[in-house]
Structure 1
Amino acid sequence: MAEKEFKLPDVGEGVAEGELVNWLVAPGDTVTEDQPVAEVETDKALVEVPSPYNGTVKQLHVEEGQMVPVGDVIVTYDVPEAGDDVSDADASKAAADEAAEPAPESEPAADAGAATEAEPADEAPEPASGRVFAPPSARRLARELGVDIATVDGSGPGGRVTEGDVRAHAESGGAGDDGAGDAAESSGPKPIDIESTRSAVSKAGDAGTAGVGAVADDDAPSPTPSSVEAAGRDRTLAVPATRKAARDAGVDLNDVPTDETRDGEAFVTADQVTQYAQTVTEAKAAEAADTGATGGADETGASTADPDTAAGNGAAAGSREPESVPYRGVRRTIGEQMETSKYTAPHVTHHDTAVVDDLVDVRADLKERAAERDVRLSYMPFVMKALVAGLKEFPSLNSELREDDEEILLKKEYNLGIAVATDAGLMVPVVKHVDEKSILELAAEVNDLAARARDRKVSREEMQGGTFTITNFGAIGGEYATPIINYPETAIMGLGAIDERPVAEDGEVRAAHTLPLSLSIDHRVIDGAEAGQFTNFVMERLENPSLLLLE
């Protein structure tokens, strides 16, 4: 065996560092070439880093959440050399050693295939390593479908199990065949029983403060910190992410109750750590409530009758402490981009409102037909078509100012970025060549890009090459805003919510569907008058959608 170091590769053009968000392997795991071993967040993309070797993970050099410069060593592998002769006995020993190691966080202990991975069934031969090779997405799908992943035949490289293999196995009725489910139930790790866990630590709180899935016992005595029974083990197995969760929660891993074991040792999952920490916190809060039931003061001197100081999240004094949130990854990238845009391009925002009764009717007529083609039709494709018509008429809004060259580049491609709010921040996937696509094609592509952006599965390349951006703040109920230009573009259109509002026509006021528009421009390139003309041109096509047929 040879020891090989794996350095963080350049996972994106021009990227100097990335945040290691999640390890997909643990020391002792056997991996194959191209198998994802970690998730790294860089720029605006979350990417999987594949292994360059077939071998065994010897050491992880980076903690989850740590920023890692490109070129730093992140994993050390034990890799078989060309002349190595691995006997069956050696392979069996390696499999046994691997089974003794805790499973990686991306393969939860409740995985139905865990037992069969450690102890392959006689009628289902496994690779020499005793491990099923499958990406985390395939394992998640297997759990969702109730499929024992150890019984699935892999069609990928080296017998790797794909999502398609899992689905095919489930559709063929293979889930749970040959007693695999019984084996998993009898020998594999089991999910924690919330009620038994709460009994072990003395039931805490009432129905209003109970943890997820917990049921309060009205007849149980009020718990106190002294009634919380810690397991008090000398040794506990857990994956690195679970150990980090215990440190963050201030919990001793050896105190967390569990009925799961790995190779004869107690094994604890992140969920069990969370439940135990919550129960201890509830017990402390309940004791504070008991000692101050008459409105007196607790040890901190704060009134325990005050809901602000008797909150279910723990100590009264700590509840008012500020929380420090790391400024890095996607949030830092967004901040740097907004700063560059705001301090480089002088922004001016033009506001207007389109009366879109006809557009609402057209979309309602076409929505059902689009659904017949498995396409969810929103207003966005109509807006995109109207904007492209406007950009062709007013090319300065589809441009880029190149200051060093002292020129304005008028672009002939119409690639519209669609801002999507995600849990990680704002992402802007780009729909390319909008002028060459139909309404239904645009609808399908926008839906796909938005969904993958929210799941952090959109690629870096799919967020590049935009010439104009649309941001739909109306999706959360807004009307007008002053959107910041997606630099180096020169304009961005903000969409408010389409809703019924009062409109004055021919001396009368009626309720009409209106669409508020907010156009921000780079005033170095675009004049206010041109911005107004562009908006009017777009509004004309939104108010009379039949004009889009001419585009």
Structure 2
Amino acid sequence: MATFEFKLPDLGEGVAEGELVKWHVKEGDLVKEDQVLCEVMTDKATVTVPSPHAGRVVKTHGREGDMAKVHQLLVTLEMEGGAPASQGAPASHGAPAPAPSPAQAAAPAAPASGTKVLATPVTRRMAREHGLDLAEISGSGPQGRVTKADVVAALEGGNGAPKKNEVAPQAARPAAPPVASGKGDERIALRGLRKKIAEKMVRSKFTMPHFAFVEEVDATDLVALRTRLNSQLAAAGDGTKLTYLPFIVKATIAAMKKFPHLNANFDEATQELVVRGEYNIGIAVATPDGLTVAVVRNADQLTLGELAKEISRLSVAARDRKLKMEELTGGTFTITSLGQSGGLFATPILNHPEVGILGVHKLKKRPAVKNDQVVVRDMMNLSLSCDHRVIDGDVAASFVYEIIKYLEAPDLLFLAMA
């Protein structure tokens, strides 16, 4: 019997490593060709890794929660007949691929000082976006490799980490001591999507100075319009049911056309605001693994009914872990709503590198003053968080009031969509 060494294939888009989220096989298992061996989470998505051949699993390399690099040994298979001892460096599904480029491999870099610094491309990009010199950060990884945790520690220290071989100054925010365990405690490792959410939230809060603006909306006419349209859709047997999100997406896009700087990303490397030409709206979806942002591409070109179907499709795919890469990337603005669990208001954290995120909160009947009379109306709150480096408070307020204009008089939406 020959053995076959299967290495983690190229994950695309310059991704050099991923977290081993879950093994689907164990040593001794018999696997078929294309059977899923494991799940690997990159900075962009969770991907399943199939077996290129049938055989018996001799050894799995790496534990759940470990980081696996592209072209790193993943599984040793025992095969019948003559099989190659090693796969080389194949792409996904076992197809041969060229050797990794310098951007893909976790190769050492030579900074201006001439000292070689070991770091992955992800770590290098993170340091570059924050204006940090890797040569001045002490690496805690093997052979002095600088890790993402080292970069975060440098950021938390205020002025960056000390240069190698220098005495570290007193950090502005010293590392927290380990939490002592007590009787009956349960420790849950931060892995998979939960870990990626944590990393992205820390990055967003450290990078972008947030501020929030909150205002209430009288949604009474919107409630009536939605009820009327859903009755017509039901009578036509269309099968489509409108939630409030399609209306909110359309109102947000209409407001963006007046305030285009909200439909933008901030390029940390060049310190430029990139005002996007497309309206790719991210919709935050609660899944068993954590919050995922699915992207509705070219949302301005979809009807209300098409938006409703696409949001529903993406939400189901997110919960089933079946979102494609293009459905997770390229967002220009995010909307997050917890529906009837949305509470009074919240201050959402920005979805880096976007410069705005809209929180939609619980819609309920409340007393309101209309024509100097206290009446019962369908009310809800909107909260907008922005990157204060590029969005001022008056622009944020005007943007929210523009959205409210379309939600309080929803017939205007049909004029805006014309």
TM-score when normalising by structure 1 = 0.54
> Residues 347 and 420 (structure 1 numbering): CA distance in 2 closer, same or farther, change over 3 Å?
same
Is 1:487 the counterpart of 2:345? The answer is no
Aligned partner of 1:73 in structure 2 is: 73
Q: State the SS of the aligned residue for 1:429.
A: strand
Aligned partner of 2:45 in structure 1 is: 45
**Would you say the 8 A contact 2:217–2:408 is kept in 1?**
yes
> Residues 339 and 58 (structure 1 numbering): CA distance in 2 closer, same or farther, change over 3 Å?
closer
Letter matched to residue 491 of structure 1: G
Question: For 2:385 and 2:227, how far apart are their aligned partners in 1?
Answer: 30
**Would you say the 8 A contact 2:24–2:36 is kept in 1?**
no
Q: What are the residue-to-residue correspondences of 1:261-272 with 2, within 5 Å?
A: none
Aligned partner of 1:356 in structure 2 is: 219
Question: For 2:44 and 2:26, how far apart are their aligned partners in 1?
Answer: 24
Question: For 2:73 and 2:280, how far apart are their aligned partners in 1?
Answer: 38
Offset at residue 436 of structure 1 (A) = 0.5
**Would you say the 8 A contact 2:264–2:275 is kept in 1?**
yes
Q: State the SS of the aligned residue for 1:332.
A: helix
Q: State the SS of the aligned residue for 2:202.
A: helix
**Would you say the 8 A contact 1:15–1:43 is kept in 2?**
no
Aligned partner of 1:398 in structure 2 is: 263
Q: What are the residue-to-residue correspondences of 1:437-448 with 2, within 5 Å?
A: 437-448=302-313
Aligned partner of 2:101 in structure 1 is: none
Aligned partner of 1:337 in structure 2 is: 200
Question: For 2:232 and 2:27, how far apart are their aligned partners in 1?
Answer: 50
Question: For 1:28 and 1:469, how far apart are their aligned partners in 2?
Answer: 43
Q: State the SS of the aligned residue for 1:444.
A: helix
**Would you say the 8 A contact 1:44–1:329 is kept in 2?**
no
Aligned partner of 1:58 in structure 2 is: 57
Question: For 2:240 and 2:40, how far apart are their aligned partners in 1?
Answer: 32
Structure 1 residues 121-175: Cα deviation after superposition (integer angstroms, max 9, x where no partner) = xxxxxxxxxxxxxxxxxxxxxxxxxxxxxxxxxxxxxxxxxxxxxxxxxxxxxxx
Q: State the SS of the aligned residue for 1:393.
A: coil
Offset at residue 64 of structure 1 (A) = 6.0
**Would you say the 8 A contact 1:24–1:39 is kept in 2?**
no
**Would you say the 8 A contact 1:391–1:398 is kept in 2?**
yes
Q: State the SS of the aligned residue for 1:520.
A: strand
Q: What are the residue-to-residue correspondences of 1:346-495 with 2, within 5 Å?
A: 346-371=209-234, 372-495=237-360
Offset at residue 503 of structure 1 (A) = 0.6
Letter matched to residue 363 of structure 1: R
Q: What are the residue-to-residue correspondences of 1:197-346 with 2, within 5 Å?
A: 320-346=183-209
**Structure 2 residues not aligned, in runs of 5+:** 84-180
Is 1:500 the counterpart of 2:365? The answer is yes
> Residues 7 and 43 (structure 1 numbering): CA distance in 2 closer, same or farther, change over 3 Å?
same
Alignment size in residue pairs: 315
Report percent identity of matched pairs.
40
Offset at residue 422 of structure 1 (A) = 1.4
Structure with a larger share of its residues in strand: 2
> Residues 327 and 529 (structure 1 numbering): CA distance in 2 closer, same or farther, change over 3 Å?
same
Aligned partner of 1:29 in structure 2 is: 30
Aligned partner of 1:18 in structure 2 is: 19
Question: For 1:529 and 1:409, how far apart are their aligned partners in 2?
Answer: 20
**Would you say the 8 A contact 2:65–2:192 is kept in 1?**
no
Letter matched to residue 433 of structure 1: N
Q: State the SS of the aligned residue for 2:317.
A: helix
TM-score when normalising by structure 2 = 0.70
Offset at residue 22 of structure 1 (A) = 3.2
**Would you say the 8 A contact 2:2–2:82 is kept in 1?**
no
**Structure 1 residues not aligned, in runs of 5+:** 84-317
**Would you say the 8 A contact 1:21–1:41 is kept in 2?**
no
**Would you say the 8 A contact 2:194–2:290 is kept in 1?**
yes
> Residues 8 and 369 (structure 1 numbering): CA distance in 2 closer, same or farther, change over 3 Å?
farther
Structure 1 residues 488-510: Cα deviation after superposition (integer angstroms, max 9, x where no partner) = 11101000011111111122111
Letter matched to residue 375 of structure 2: R
Offset at residue 471 of structure 1 (A) = 0.7
Question: For 1:448 and 1:352, how far apart are their aligned partners in 2?
Answer: 30
Question: For 2:349 and 2:57, how far apart are their aligned partners in 1?
Answer: 47
> Residues 495 and 15 (structure 1 numbering): CA distance in 2 closer, same or farther, change over 3 Å?
farther
Question: For 2:65 and 2:199, how far apart are their aligned partners in 1?
Answer: 20
Question: For 2:293 and 2:349, how far apart are their aligned partners in 1?
Answer: 13
**Would you say the 8 A contact 2:20–2:38 is kept in 1?**
no
**Would you say the 8 A contact 1:19–1:66 is kept in 2?**
yes
Structure with the greater alpha carbon radius of gyration: 1
**Would you say the 8 A contact 1:12–1:460 is kept in 2?**
no
**Would you say the 8 A contact 1:2–1:79 is kept in 2?**
yes
> Residues 475 and 25 (structure 1 numbering): CA distance in 2 closer, same or farther, change over 3 Å?
farther
Structure 1 residues 186-214: Cα deviation after superposition (integer angstroms, max 9, x where no partner) = xxxxxxxxxxxxxxxxxxxxxxxxxxxxx
Q: State the SS of the aligned residue for 2:334.
A: strand
Moved more, 495-504 or 14-23: 14-23
Offset at residue 80 of structure 1 (A) = 4.3
Q: State the SS of the aligned residue for 2:404.
A: helix
Letter matched to residue 453 of structure 1: A
> Residues 488 and 23 (structure 1 numbering): CA distance in 2 closer, same or farther, change over 3 Å?
same
Aligned partner of 1:208 in structure 2 is: none
Question: For 2:68 and 2:295, how far apart are their aligned partners in 1?
Answer: 28
> Residues 406 and 61 (structure 1 numbering): CA distance in 2 closer, same or farther, change over 3 Å?
closer
Question: For 1:462 and 1:75, how far apart are their aligned partners in 2?
Answer: 30
Structure 1 residues 289-313: Cα deviation after superposition (integer angstroms, max 9, x where no partner) = xxxxxxxxxxxxxxxxxxxxxxxxx
